[in-house]
């Protein structure tokens, strides 16, 4: 794939993912357990289809190729997917997406702690800037009763970061199998939670279809397009291009549903985005 085509693929994937928050907001009555359960099936289907096409393998070979690293990736992705949805349900879209965008910064710190990759001065500066930005948004959420949702977003970001570190250590060319397993684990977990502390799995037809679209289009197709184009561009470029999701998600909710962003969310979010861009560009600018 040519670099131009890879760039378009990643941007289209990030654009697809940016609609996830809008679809979650459009769901009327389904709770997080129900959304994750119904979202999981089309996500599994789309991801396994893209993986088999990209790798040139059969579905049977896809399953036989699963290893322990894939299972670990699946567990981290299950956590990231689940807390992402609960974050969107319990805080503003802007806070959730901007907090989630600290994942590359957290990954840099975890890489040092877990696999011995010592952060550079630029990385430490990015971590410091991102933490200040998150603190500003979490503080805004605390004053407005959204602390729980911001906490869920932080857990989701840390889960994504751990997934990135595991993938880096394993040197896998893509994380599509982990994505598939993460969706599958979420389906199983949500069945248990829905019937123990939730309201079961009966939801309206409209909420079910919105959950299906959420899994197939925004997450399934979006992540698949990003994963498809990522190997053909430097990781730093990919990190910057994927930021389109964090920037556009609050915009769609504002345009279609009229939910504006708070001043603290905008200010804190800009600090986080600057930190991630600083971290993404570290390969091109050295101290």
Q: List, for residues 93-129, the tens digit of each pLDDT value.
A: 877 877 787 777 787 788 778 877 776 777 677 777 7
Structure confidence at residue 145 (pLDDT):
54
Residue 42 lies in a domain: yes
Residue 285 lies in a domain: no
Structure confidence at residue 42 (pLDDT):
92
Question: Are the beta carbons of 241 and 43 closer than 8 angstroms?
Answer: no
Residue 67 lies in a domain: yes
Structure confidence at residue 76 (pLDDT):
92
pLDDT in tens, 225-255: 876 776 676 555 566 667 777 777 888 888 8
Q: How far apart are CA 206 and CA 27, in angstroms?
A: 8
pTM of this structure: 0.82
In the chain, the largest separation of any two C-alpha atoms, in whole Å, equals 56
Residue 271 lies in a domain: yes
**Domain span at 270:** 3-280
Residue 65 lies in a domain: yes
Regions of the chain with pLDDT less than 70: 1, 119, 123, 137-146, 227, 230-231, 233-241, 265, 276, 279-287
Q: How far apart are CA 138 and CA 73, in angstroms?
A: 28
Residue 287 lies in a domain: no
> Which residue, 216, 218, 224, 231, is CA-closest to 53?
224
Measured over the CA atoms of residue 57, residue 60, residue 62 and residue 65, the dihedral's sign is: negative
Residue 286 lies in a domain: no
Question: Are the beta carbons of 193 and 33 closer than 8 angstroms?
Answer: yes
Instruction: Name the token pair of 35.
Output: 């959304």
Number of domains within the chain: 1
Residue 25 lies in a domain: yes
């Amino acid at each position: 794939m040519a670099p131009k085509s890879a760039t378009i693929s990643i941007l289209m994937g990030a654009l697809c993912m940016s609609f996830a928050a809008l679809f979650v907001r459009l769901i009327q009555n389904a709770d997080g357990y129900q959304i994750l359960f119904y979202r999981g099936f089309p996500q599994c289907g789309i991801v396994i289809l893209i993986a088999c096409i990209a790798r040139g393998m059969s579905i049977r070979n896809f399953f036989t190729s699963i290893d322990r690293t894939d299972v670990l990736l699946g567990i981290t992705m299950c956590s990231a997917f689940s807390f992402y949805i609960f974050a969107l349900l319990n805080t503003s879209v802007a806070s959730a997406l901007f907090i989630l965008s600290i994942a590359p910064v957290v990954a840099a710190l975890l890489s040092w702690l877990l696999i011995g990759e010592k952060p550079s001065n630029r990385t430490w500066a990015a971590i410091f800037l991102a933490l200040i930005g998150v603190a500003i948004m979490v503080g805004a959420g605390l004053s407005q009763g959204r602390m729980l949702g911001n906490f869920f977003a932080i857990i989701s970001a840390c889960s994504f970061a751990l997934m990135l570190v595991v993938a880096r250590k394993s040197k896998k060319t893509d994380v599509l199998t982990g994505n598939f397993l993460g969706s599958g684990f979420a389906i199983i977990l949500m069945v248990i939670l829905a019937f123990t502390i939730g309201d079961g799995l009966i939801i309206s037809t409209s909420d079910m279809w919105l959950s299906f679209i959420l899994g197939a289009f925004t997450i399934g197709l979006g992540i698949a397009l990003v994963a498809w184009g990522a190997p053909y561009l430097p990781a730093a470029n990919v990190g910057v291009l994927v930021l389109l999701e964090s920037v556009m998600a609050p915009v769609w909710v504002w345009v279609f549903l009229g939910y504006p962003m708070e001043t603290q969310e905008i200010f804190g979010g800009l600090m986080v985005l600057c930190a991630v861009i600083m971290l993404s560009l570290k390969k091109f600018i050295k101290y």
